[in-house]
Amino acid sequence: MQQDRSKLLGTMPMTKLVPKVSIPIMFSMLIQALYNIVDSIFVSRFDPNGLTAVSLAMPFQMLMIALSTGMGTGINSLLSRRLGERNPEGARRGAWNGLLIEVLGSVLFILFGLFLAGQTMGLVVSENLANKESIFSMGTSYLTIVTAASTGLFVAIFFERMLQATGNSVLSMVTQLCGAVTNIILDPIMIFGLLGCPRMGVSGAAVATVIGQFVSAIIGFTLNQKKNPELRLMRKDAIINRHDLSGIVSVGLPSTVMASIGSVMNIGMNAILSGFAQSNAALNVMSVYFKLQSFIFMPVFGLSNGIIAIIAYNYGAKIKERVYSCIKVALVWACVIMLVGTFVFMVFPGQLMSIFESEAEAEITAQMTDIGMVAMRIISSSFLLAAVGIILSTVFQAVGRGTYSMIISICRQLLILLPVAWLIARLTGDVKAVWWCFPTAELFALVLCIFFYNRCNKQMLSKL
């Protein structure tokens, strides 16, 4: 008889449980980050204007990812709490309602891709950009493909969260890994036209992305049905339940808003950077930075995804000591990861930027390196602050207080970061100074995060 894996969340020592659950997710997210970097490298080598096009399309692609992963967080939190309450039937019923929410989300973006992708790109391609017609064409093609074929992404995220909810993060890792590896393999083939494939350029990168997502979805479904008996989907549990839907949305919507705010921030930063004479280079630096920093942040987000199940389970089981222990262990892991990232970005910014050099546009490449080295060092000074904020925000989501995380994200990225960036740009006229908006916003967010944690602890955790 297969062991009830979710029981490990309530019994295993936390110093062993946190890495056991989180490391496979961290590893799979590292692979995902590597794919993102490789994708940008291939696109930049194909055409630097293609990198600019993808950079401008990225915030809208991030909105799609924000909705799928945000609702996935709500699903994970609900299912883990139900399992902690010894209610597997309720968990399986909640899973069906989670699948319904993810499918509806994909329909929304399919309609966007079919009817609004071109108009959307027209709004963000600035008149100041060189080769704006080519950038518009490539950006529209990329955005149309990744959104109109978004079902694979939404379904893949759903099954990953199903596996994570029972602590089965190794299988979740396999699901993500297969999709990412598929993507990495197909990228050069479709972008450059290798092995008899037509030369598709930026569109090839988009097609490779959606194929990888569908592969991940298929494997996730198979593994969940065969290896995850506690949450195996069965037709008898397929009942639409208002309470389940609201339970998922109450956590998932704030999480979605948090991630969506990142897209709004990207759009705002792109608008601010487009006002400089070196706009093409500055926009590319912004894109390259987010690709590179994902290699540091993705493991922390993997850790975050892992501890949601642990904290939610033990909160549902009313085991206060294990909740506190999980928070402490996760903070140590997150801070160590971010310290390593800070060292790399501070010491090797030039080497990081050189990965994206293109001989086709030597002037833009030189400007990118010059601006990027400064940006990497300034922004990475706030990595340690971000580590603490991410873990504490995860605690809020795990115990059903995702609104706190949403407020923090709104303040960090909209009320602080963008106004500070705009003000610095107006006062200095120096694109290199604009990057100080990131540490400023992160410091403010940490103070707010600690305030909300103290409130959450007093009202909820300490009373378990």
pLDDT in tens, 400-456: 887 888 889 889 988 999 999 999 999 999 999 999 999 999 999 999 999 999 999
State the pLDDT at residue 382: 95
342-366 mean pLDDT:
81
Structure confidence at residue 46 as a pLDDT band (50, 70, 90): confident
Query: How many other C-beta atoms are found inside a 10 Å radius of the C-beta of residue 443?
Result: 14
SS3 content of the chain, % helix, strand, coil (to 5): 85, 0, 15
Is residue 2 domain-resident?
no
**pLDDT at 251 > cutoff 80:** yes
Is residue 45 domain-resident?
yes
State the pLDDT at residue 346: 96
Is residue 269 domain-resident?
yes
Q: Contact 206/142 with Cβ under 8 angstroms?
A: yes
State the pLDDT at residue 150: 96
Q: What is the pTM of this model?
A: 0.77
145-157 mean pLDDT:
96
Weakest mean pLDDT among 25-34, 378-387, 440-449 = 25-34
State the pLDDT at residue 3: 44
Q: Where are the alpha helices (DSSP H) in 116-168?
A: 117-124, 132-148, 151-165
Q: Which amino acid is at 197?
A: C
State the pLDDT at residue 147: 97
Q: Contact 102/154 with Cβ under 8 angstroms?
A: yes
**pLDDT at 33 > cutoff 80:** no
Q: Structurally, how many domains does the chain consist of?
A: 1
Is residue 1 domain-resident?
no
125-154 mean pLDDT:
90
State the pLDDT at residue 4: 53
Q: Which amino acid is at 221?
A: F
**pLDDT at 37 > cutoff 80:** no
Is residue 3 domain-resident?
no
Is residue 4 domain-resident?
no
Weakest mean pLDDT among 213-217, 242-246, 256-260, 447-451 = 256-260
Q: Which H or E run contains 333?
A: helix 320-347
**pLDDT at 210 > cutoff 90:** yes
State the pLDDT at residue 1: 34
State the pLDDT at residue 7: 67
In whole numbers, what is the pLDDT of the chain averaged over residues? 89
Is residue 167 domain-resident?
yes
State the pLDDT at residue 2: 38
Range of the domain at 62: 9-463
Which residues lie closer than 8 Å to 115 by C-beta, 6 or more apart? Answer: none
Give me the percent of the chain exceeding a pLDDT of 70.
96
Structure confidence at residue 280 as a pLDDT band (50, 70, 90): confident
58-83 mean pLDDT:
88
* Helical packing angle, 279-316 and 151-165, nearest 10°: 40
